[in-house]
């Protein structure tokens, strides 16, 4: 039973969580390898039948991953408004990725490119060390969901030649402001910390920022917008030429 607890139970704390542990690095390598595999096979994946098969597989994995997460919440008596609403930016991105990869909706891609690549990419590199470490289920689920977001985005870029435009950036900034307007007061109403918009997390990248929420939150929001602008820059010349 103790062996099972180490993989599943919410109160198991035998493993120490560290940034860039062996399990963390291996997880990142697997994700990068799968993205590279999509890149080198992109021409073959453009075949309608193959594209449908592999996009369906990616979508199914993301759906099952989310279902398993909520089953874990229920089984461990952790289902609560404070943690389980789809108000994390990455959780919203994952839902949008499922819709994007099944419908091939370009407008969804426009937002997911910034939200998903910015949010999930940062979370994967500098993940929250308060989550359970490998081989716990939550560690594995975290890297599958966040890695799946990146894989979905690059699948659309390499296989379908999708790319963000300046209008994509403007639209994303608008929706991000709406997201903040909803999420910040919700955090205070239900005593949560969705997307870390109330309290600073145990996150090395944010260590230089003040712990005071009235200082930290505006700077954090500003850094998110700056990150989105930086993510657009690789496509700036391409979209400028098209226009």
Mean residue pLDDT of the chain comes to: 89
Query: What integer pLDDT is reported at residue 239 of this predicted model?
Result: 63
Percent of the chain at pLDDT > 90 equals 70
Q: Higher-confidence residue: 5 or 30?
A: 30
Least confident of 11-20, 61-70, 75-84: 11-20
Show the 3-state SS of the chain: CHHHHHHHCCCCCCCCCCCCCHHHHHHHHHHHHHHHHHHHCHHHHCCHHHHHHHHHHHHHHHHHHHHHHHHHHHHCCCCCHHHHCCCCHHHHHHHHHHHHHHHCCHHHHHHHHHHHHHHHHHHHHCCCCCCCCCCCHHHHHHHHHHHHHHHHHHHHHHHHCCCCCHHHHHHHHHHHHHHHHHHHHHHHHHCCCHHHCCCCCCCHHHCCCCCCHHHHHHHHHHHHHHHHHHHHHHHHHHHHHHC
Query: What integer pLDDT is reported at residue 154 of this predicted model?
Result: 98
Per domain, the residue ranges of the chain are: 20-242
Report residue 54's pLDDT band, with 50, 70 and 90 as the boundaries: very high
Query: What integer pLDDT is reported at residue 236 of this predicted model?
Result: 82
Task: Note the pLDDT tens digit of each residue in 169-221.
Answer: 999 999 999 999 999 999 999 999 999 999 887 776 777 777 888 888 999 99
């Amino acid at each position: 039973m103790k062996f099972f607890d180490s993989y599943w139970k919410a109160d198991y704390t035998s493993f120490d969580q560290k940034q860039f542990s062996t399990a963390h690095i291996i997880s990142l390598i697997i994700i990068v390898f799968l993205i590279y595999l999509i890149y080198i096979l992109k021409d073959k994946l453009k075949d309608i039948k193959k594209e449908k098969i592999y996009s369906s597989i990616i979508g199914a994995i993301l759906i099952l991953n989310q279902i398993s997460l909520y089953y874990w919440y229920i089984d461990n008596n952790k289902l609560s408004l404070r943690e389980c609403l789809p108000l994390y930016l990455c959780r919203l991105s994952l839902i949008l990725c499922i819709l994007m990869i099944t419908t091939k909706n370009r407008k969804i891609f426009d937002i997911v490119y910034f939200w998903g690549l910015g949010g999930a990419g940062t979370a994967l590199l500098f993940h929250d060390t308060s989550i359970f470490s490998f081989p716990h289920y939550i560690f594995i689920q975290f890297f599958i969901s966040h890695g799946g977001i990146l894989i979905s985005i690059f699948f659309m870029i390499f296989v379908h030649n999708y790319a963000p435009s300046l209008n994509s950036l403007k639209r994303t900034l608008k929706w991000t402001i709406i997201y903040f307007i909803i999420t910040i007061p919700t955090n205070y109403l239900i005593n949560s910390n969705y997307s870390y918009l109330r309290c600073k997390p145990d996150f090395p990248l944010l260590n230089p920022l003040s712990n005071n929420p009235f200082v930290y939150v505006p700077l954090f929001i500003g850094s998110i917008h700056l990150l989105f602008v930086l993510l657009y820059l690789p496509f700036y010349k391409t979209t400028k030429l098209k226009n």
